[in-house]
Structure 1
């Protein structure tokens, strides 16, 4: 009889502590989310860490966050960490019904950003990480487009919906107070001379 090695995983997902749960060593996080937690919003796209449809947000103790690909990262890597999946963005009532979308989700709807929607969870997570970073470190107005491109560049959309994703994220960035800083007045006056 073959015995598979298991390791415990305890993780805070969308504000709730899950586990510890013994899972097979080497189980990918995407499988843990889907099979153990029934959170199927993160998508298994390429299975090789290239398309970024599967990313979740890892919240670090210092208040920063980053995207982590779940199709190539084992569930055990997440032990003791705090993560957010696509299911954790919208505000829900006690019955679990969505009562308010996040600003990123709302702008994606307003801009008709997605077609098939398969890559959308990854784009929502990437845009959310960007918005949170800009709240801590605003970007100069002239750097907005480059900053958005850099943040979304690794995400692949097979329907080629990139323009609408970028437009929606730019809309969030430009309409959320405090994310964009204007050039100092002396720089503006110097360029007018």
Structure 2
């Protein structure tokens, strides 16, 4: 069965688009919108490579796995994908990476990069949460482990991702007390 879907992705209104009600969100991003930065990993919601950020009306945000969530579940939502993090100029060229992207590159947190979109989205949501409610320096590692603990990376063993996020948190004013 087909049904219209409309949503905001990276601050751009998308739709209405007629989409089969059985289409998963990752398939919608890839096949309908040619947005392939969000990666399909396990297809079971375990690896978290496919997470996108959902911006809620109350100003909070959360991450949602797109491989196990139907596209229609996002109808009228505001989401952010990996394609929306860097700043671009008027013709779409990247002019500045986000702080999360910069620290991941600086620390060479990834190898193959398959899981990086999920780690970037999760870390971005974490940093935004911490900005609203700073954490104790002594709790940084535990907070990172809790936020990123379900993400699977088969290349780096997580150490460099966690180190990069810790560096970002500790070096950003206002995130720790």
TM-score by length of 2: 0.99
1:42 correspondence with 2:59: no
Other-structure match for 2:21:
25
Task: Say which of 107, 110, 128 aligns to 1:132.
Answer: 128
Uncovered stretches (5+) of structure 2, i.e. residues with no partner = none
User: For 1:52-105, what per-residue CA distance to the aligned partner results, in whole angstroms no more than 9, with x for missing partners?
Assistant: 000000000111100000000000000000000000000000111110000000
1:86 correspondence with 2:63: no
Figure out how many residues of one structure are paired with residues of the other and give that number: 177
Secondary structure of the residue aligned to 1:83 is strand
Larger Rg: 1
Other-structure match for 1:187:
none
Q: Give the deviation of 1:7 after TM superposition.
A: 1.5
Q: Give the deviation of 1:161 after TM superposition.
A: 3.7
Contact 1:173 1:180 in 2 (8 A): yes
Secondary structure of the residue aligned to 1:63 is coil
Secondary structure of the residue aligned to 2:13 is strand
Secondary structure of the residue aligned to 2:53 is strand
Uncovered stretches (5+) of structure 1, i.e. residues with no partner = 182-193
Q: Give the deviation of 1:8 after TM superposition.
A: 1.2
Other-structure match for 1:175:
171
Other-structure match for 2:144:
148
Distance 2:128 2:32 in 1: 29
Please tell me the root mean square deviation across aligned C-alpha atoms, in Å: 0.6
Secondary structure of the residue aligned to 2:119 is helix
